[in-house]
Homo-oligomer: A and B are copies of this chain.
Amino acid sequence: MKEIRGAEVAKALKAQMTEDIAALGGYIPQLVIVRVGERPDDISYEKGAAKRALAMGLRCTSFVFDAEISHEEFVMEFQKINKDPEVDGILMLRPLPKQINEKEIERLIDPGKDIDCIGPMNLARVFAGETDAYAPCTAEAVMEMLKYEGIDLKGKRVTIVGRSLVVGKPLAMLMLGQHATVTICHTRTADFQGTCHNAEILVAAAGKAKMIKKEHVADGAIVIDVGINLDEEGNLCGDVDYEEVKKTAGIVTPVPGGVGSVTTLVLLKHLIQAAKQKRR
């Protein structure tokens, strides 16, 4: 069994991105992170993204709003950021508090700054298979893992577990764009085990700790674990039962240290693209 480690994929991506930054002729792209409230998950993701952005020599600014901010006031503040010509890309941490109409904010975001694919324009472009759209970062991180490993998706049987708009569905579109045969399954799937076992490439994006066992995985299959969960002992784990699956799978991505380590880099890749686009 082979592992695809996120750190290696990240290293390759960084090398390319460093070149892309240099090609901007001295301009330093700015990422803005918008956070409402003090949810620990948000803060942790924000810290990670900021650290990586700064380490690459990019600008990163956080705007933090009170959890009680009204919808109207948030719209006003969001639009200031959205329209600021110095802002190249926006990462808005979700979900927003209930008093804010999140759908409205998603429709407001400038498609050129929507590097995390929350707005309808980018979603539609991903749906349409436009390869220069900013796809949701986790979905694209999966593609980067496979690309790094040199895996040709053409004609391959891919099963994606999970049908969310941040991973399962957009990933299905990216995979179709590479000519894979894509099956999307979920909690309601009748023959779940068989559907997973049929896959040459199995992507677990269901958000349920260790749900993929060895009986779900064909001998030699490639298993990409998108899940980030806590197990019974409170340790970080994926949707894949790694210890079980590693015995039969051909390739597995670990959690932690897998797809998650590539996700924020994809975000920064989009940021650099957005800056390049703007300056054209």
A: which residues have CB within 8 A of B?
A: 119-121, 123-129, 154-157, 163, 165, 169, 172-173, 176, 179, 181-186, 188-191, 195
Contact = CB atoms under 8 A, between A and B. Distances in A.
A183 B186 contact: no
- Closest CB pairs A-B (n = 3): A120-B124, A155-B190, A179-B188
Contacts of A182: 183-184
Given A126-B127, A172-B172, 6 more contacts: A127-B169, A128-B165, A163-B176, A181-B183, A181-B185, A182-B184
A176 B184 contact: yes
A156 B190 contact: yes
7 contacts: A121-B124, A156-B190, A157-B190, A157-B191, A181-B186, A181-B188, A183-B183
Question: Looking at chain A's contact residues, is the secondary structure mostly helix, strand, loop, or mixed?
Answer: mixed
Nearest to A176: B163
A222 to B, nearest CB: 15
A43 to B, nearest CB: 27
Nearest to A187: B179
Contacts of A195: 157, 181
A182 B190 CA distance: 12
A172 B179 CA distance: 16
A249 B185 CA distance: 24
B184 A190 contact: no
Contact of A128 (B123, B155, B184): B123
